[in-house]
Amino acid sequence: MKNPNMKRLRRTMMFLNAQKPGLIKDPYIYKPDSIMLDLEDAVAENQKDAARFSLYHALKEIDYHGVERVIRINGLDTPYWQEDIRCAVAGGCDAIRIPKTESALDIHLVEEKVLAAEKEFGRPEGSTLLMAAIESARGVMKALDICDASERLFGIALSGGDYTKDLQTHITGTGIELMGARQNLIIAARAAGKQCFDKVYTNLNDTEGFRKDVETIHLMGFDGKSIINPRQIRIVHEIFTPSQKDIAFSEKVVKEIDSKKAQGIGVFTVDGKMIDIAFYDGAKRTIELAKASGVYKGEL
Amino acid sequence: MIIQKPGIAGTLESSDAQVTVEPGDGKIEFELESAVINQYGLQIRKITYDTLKRLGIDNVKIKIVDKGALDCTLKARIEGAVYRSCNQYNDLPWGGAIQ
């Protein structure tokens, strides 16, 4: 059975260091769509074990009020990832983020361990979703294979720092260095029917730069963005939530197409714009996004 | 489990606790420093003893410096210190002795 959370709303996915009790005790108050409890880069090498205990008890005992709990495990080239998976699945996490994914095989290796952990800890099989972080040129080139690798995989995410290093450039703030990867990832994700998420924006003081970055990826078709601070949530949600004007227009389009189809009319106008069946899916998506964002008051 | 060597886990940051365990003298010796010892001292003591019992430990010197940790953090830090003292980092009993 397909996991009902495959397509849930994920506009903001907020990284939190799993080793820091002060950070993980109440992030739900900021209302991100997902939190990503990090066992990887944020946790020092000599604290990997302690972070797992902290993570396990947080998952078991803290009520995150419906915010999705994704766990970023350590890389498959480290000695930590298998125990990370046992801990995360035993704790009942919603999903696992695989770092530095470069092939379908990476997904298969994790999938196998996740299934084993679900059996070991009595979790329903298939209840743990996966997402893959793409952090290298090879990963970008293999994006479609990665997206197609597992039914558990709900999406892929670009990780900018490592990717630009691999490309022998750096984060410029203009987005030029990310154009190819962003385009490739969103196309691969859509081709496979999966979601796609953008990298973090690390300059917390540059609100305008952040806003432009989010507007860009929104226009490109991304589903959301990885974030590192609650201050970034409001801007992302504002940009990713359909406006009332868009919702009203989409509602008219859906209703008109439904009614005109019955009358055998294929092309007509709504608010002075020529509309045909090609507009239907986009308008339906806007309504669904508005519903998921809690701003839809209509009856569709 | 048997405490084999000193083990420490946690920090002195707000909302955390630093837990130190050492081999004991045949019993549990419990020491607590906390700004909220009057309100929560007994509860912290109970969590500590319950956690040690689950881990099968009855011979340990344990010191907790509490900085306003939630119950789940206290348990995590006690287990962290204990498993470090036993050098066990993999195949942990999640949902068993750890819960």
Q: Is A186 on the interface with B (CB under 8 A)?
A: no
- Per the domain annotation, does A81 fall within a domain? yes
The CATH number for A20's domain is 3.20.20.60
User: What does the alpha-carbon distance between residue A48 and residue A50 come to, in Å, rounded to a whole number?
Assistant: 6
Q: What confidence tens digit (pLDDT) does each residue in A90-130 have?
A: 999 999 999 999 999 999 999 999 999 999 999 999 999 99
Split into its structural domains, chain A has a count of 2
Cα angle: A68, vertex A70, A72; to 5 degrees: 165
Contact yes or no for A54 and B73 at CB 8 A: yes
CA distance readout (Å), B54 to A2, A24, A179, B31: 37, 25, 53, 19
Helices (H) and strands (E) in chain B, counts: 2, 4
- Per the domain annotation, does A300 fall within a domain? no
Burial grade of A277 (CB within 10 A; 0-12, 13-18, 19 or more): exposed
Residues A50 and A168 in one domain: yes
ipTM of the complex: 0.97
Here the tokens at position A19 are 């080793």
Q: What confidence tens digit (pLDDT) does each residue in A215-228 have?
A: 999 999 999 999 99
Say what the pLDDT of residue A276 is. Answer: 87
Q: What confidence tens digit (pLDDT) does each residue in A6-31 have?
A: 999 999 999 999 999 999 999 999 99
Say what the pLDDT of residue A1 is. Answer: 54
Phi, psi of B45 (to 5 degrees): -60, -45
Rounded mean pLDDT of A58-81? 97
The mean of the pLDDT values for chain A is: 95
Which stretch of DSSP H or E encloses residue A66? none
Q: Is B4 on the interface with A (CB under 8 A)?
A: no
- Per the domain annotation, does A281 fall within a domain? yes
pLDDT at A292 over 90: no
> Which domain range does residue A286 map to?
244-292
| Interface probe, candidates B50, B72, B75, chain A, greatest A C-beta count within 10 A | B72
How is domain B7-85 classified at the CATH fold level? Ribosomal Protein S5; domain 2 (3.30.230)
Q: Which residues of chain B have pLDDT under 70?
A: none
- Per the domain annotation, does A4 fall within a domain? no
Residue B62 one-letter amino acid: I
User: Which of helix, strand or coil describes residue A40?
Assistant: coil
pLDDT higher at A4 or A110: A110
Query: Which residue is closest to A53 within chain B, CA to CA?
Result: B76
